[in-house]
A and B are shown apart, each in its own frame.
Chain A
Amino acid sequence: MTTQSSLNAAPRRFALINDRIITAPKQVVPVSVLRALASIAADQVLVRDHGSPNDVVLDDRATVDLNDGNVFYTRARCEATPPAACGSPAKLAFAVDDTFELSTAAELPFEAFMALFGLEAGKQLFRDFESPNDQPMAAGSVIRFHDGPVFYTRGDGHVDKRVKITIDGVKHKVAPGKTSVADIKKIGNVPLADELIQNIGGKLTPLADDATLCIAGGEEFVSHPRCGASS
């Protein structure tokens, strides 16, 4: 059950490109528009993330339906493999108050959705329509990706205890406290083989892959692929 009564207003939609939220003008958008909005360099291709070796490389001249999956990343054009059949479902991203979370499920119970974003009961959740008449989602309802993935909250019941960290220039909200380097890599979509470096006041501190950090908020990380060599 959803309790939205925004008449004919369209839900707001977005594409998540390299972990950045890019607001999309409509559900079906030309790839060229997404490229422009995300400032993708000409030598990069846009790839829809299915979490599969056969992730879908998008032709620059194609259009993309964000209902089919709204999570993308870029890859060097010269490294992109020709399109192959991809049987895995595309990753889906929901956003609440400009913070995103990924899901492989297109439908989530209201309570699970609130937990996913660390929202406490009592906070009112609204699906964001291009309308001034958004109505709160009701407890017990089902959050459907296809009905619109963008939400905002109102009310005082929510205390988001998460803190912000930066990984490769992208801000992420995470729970404070002990966090493994492996988990930080997962949050930042950093390949596990890459080295993670913490920027502590301009001093670059390499982090061991098996290390654990105490996240307090404000930490900055940069990854690099350890591919350099003397020539």
Chain B
Amino acid sequence: MSFPPDQIAELQALVPGVMACQEGVVTYFLLPGLQLPAGCTPSKVDALLCPTPRDGYESRLFFSQLVTSTSARNWHVTNTRIVDRQWCAFSWKTNKTGLRLAQMVVEHLCALK
């Protein structure tokens, strides 16, 4: 699936070095060194955005390691393999379709505030 160039440019402004990855028919976006909200440990992690529905979620943001944050989250995925890497994810529904790629990332990150 292709995404509008302006949305990808907006994502690059948010996370320089963003890369699109394909696994099967699904396009993911690798977000290297994603800056996490204040209060998170670590403060930066690699992340992987799945911008299309998966596992019953409108979109998913996977993290390269577990993150502790001010708000405790349900890290129900701790060891899933996507594009040759292990990823973790917490349960978070954005409850809205039509979000831009950057908006999806922000929506997931705000759960860690």
Of residues 1 to 44 in A, which have CB atoms within 8 Å of B's CB atoms?
Answer: 20, 39, 43-44
Residues of A contacting B: mostly: strand
Measured between beta carbons, the chain B residues less than 8 angstroms from A202 are 14-16, 33, 35
Known A-B contacts A20-B6, A169-B6; A225 and B96 likewise in contact (beta carbons under 8 Å): yes
Whether A222 contacts B111 by the Cβ 8 Å rule is: no
0/1 per residue, B1-29, Cβ < 8 Å to A? Answer: 00011110110011110000000000000
Whether B92 contacts A224 by the Cβ 8 Å rule is: no
Measured between beta carbons, the chain A residues less than 8 angstroms from B83 are none
* Nearest opposing residue in chain B for A225, CB measure: B96
- Interface flag for B45 (CB, 8 Å): no
Complex alpha-carbon distance, A227 and B93, angstroms: 8
- Interface flag for A54 (CB, 8 Å): no
B95's partner among A44, A170, A222, A229 (CB-CB below 8 A) is A229
Binding-face segment, A74-82, A100-108, A133-141 = A74-82
Complex alpha-carbon distance, A230 and B4, angstroms: 29
Q: Residues of B at under 8 Å CB distance from A?
A: 4-7, 9-10, 13-16, 33, 35, 37, 56-57, 73-74, 90-100, 102-103, 106-111, 113
